[in-house]
A = this chain, B = another copy of it.
Amino acid sequence: MTALKPFLSDNAAAVHPKLWEAMRAADQPDHPYDGDRLSAELDARFTALFGRECAALWVATGTAANCLALGTLVQPHGGVVCHREAHIEVDEGGAPGFFLHGAKLMLCGQEHGGEGAKLTPEGIAALIDPVRNDVHQVQPHAIAITQASEYGRTYTPAELAALGAFAKERRLCLHMDGARFANAAAFLGGSAAEAARAASGPVHSLAFGFIKNGGMGAEAVVLFDPERAMEVRYRRKRAGHLQCKGRYLAAQILAMLEDDLWLANAAHANAAAREVAAGCADRLLHPVEANELFVRLTPGEREALRAQDFAFYDWGADSARFVTAWNTRPEDAQALGRAIAAL
């Protein structure tokens, strides 16, 4: 595959050299599980980044990060409002059903408004208000949003504030699937702290993704109500996600935070996406804000691109999805943009 220009997914990209260094540096005796010195730094480092007290735990996958956080926000007899195209609904093999013990995903769709698989207070209200206080129907306990969304769209701080206020009013918790949180933050701009705060808004919990951004196998569950952290620790162990040698996961995350590598990597990927977008603005199904492009392309056009060694996924019958990554070569992005423009 080495000759291909890879736009399939950011989730298979190589590991960033700084993370290799950090893992090797961790390769010395220390306490098992999360008793090591590196794991012990996480709470403070994320508290500093977000400027509000939080606890942070490593886990190996975004699926686990989302579900462990949601498990503390939602009772088994409750529900989680999310978009019908949310990753937790369509791409996690039923993991929420497992981790939440059968709690229900309550689905907003296009009919509830919201662009690019984003949720709005109005849409959620239309979904949940009719079922309120009816014992025959599952009651919502939390809302889960994705930042950046499954279509690469970001929630603005104002949109997040509105969702937070709505959640509070309805006594719901607010969780953020941040598999591409870094890309959303990079789009929103500012210093690392400013970007992190802007992109996270008033959420109760965040699955902060690093794997798509140059990590090997470490994401962070960030809990802005630190009291929930102890519960997540028990649930993490119970789910088989408390690794023996946690220091290698902590090392990855700390290296990502060091010198704001997470933000730089994401900015690189976003820039590459913009390069591509420049060549296909008229074909875009969604504005390009993060590092994904959804492009109207006929089967013949897709074939032509593949003949030029571009690797990507079809997206329905008449479109394709391109994803850039922390290590996308600018020349590949430019070449892709030009190739589409030339179709």
By a beta-carbon cutoff of 8 Å, the part of chain A in contact with chain B is 1-2, 4, 6, 8-9, 11-15, 20, 24, 27-33, 36, 59-65, 67-68, 75-77, 79, 90-104, 135-139, 211-212, 216-217, 231, 233-235, 237-245, 248-249
Q: Which residues of B contact A234 (CB under 8 A)?
A: 77, 93, 135, 139
Q: Is the CB of A97 within 8 A of B92?
A: no
Q: Is the CB of B93 within 8 A of A238?
A: yes
Query: What would be 8 A-B contacts, judged by CB atoms less than 8 Å apart?
Result: A11-B32, A15-B27, A60-B240, A77-B231, A93-B137, A94-B103, A98-B101, A101-B102
Q: Is the CB of B217 within 8 A of A60?
A: yes
Q: Which residues of B contact A31 (CB under 8 A)?
A: 12
Q: Is the CB of B248 within 8 A of A217?
A: yes
Q: How far is the CA of A67 from the CA of B9 in the complex (A)?
A: 30
Chain B residue at smallest Cβ distance from A64: B240
Q: How far is the CA of A249 from the CA of B77 in the complex (A)?
A: 24
Q: Tell me which of B29, B60, B65 contacts A2 (CB under 8 A).
A: B29
Q: Is the CB of B79 within 8 A of A11?
A: no
Q: Is the CB of B9 within 8 A of A92?
A: no
Smallest CB separation, A47 vs chain B (Å): 21
Smallest CB separation, A246 vs chain B (Å): 9
Q: Tell me which of B6, B102, B244 contacts A97 (CB under 8 A).
A: B102
Given contacts A136-B93, A217-B245, contact A239 B12 (CB under 8 A): no
Chain B residue at smallest Cβ distance from A97: B102
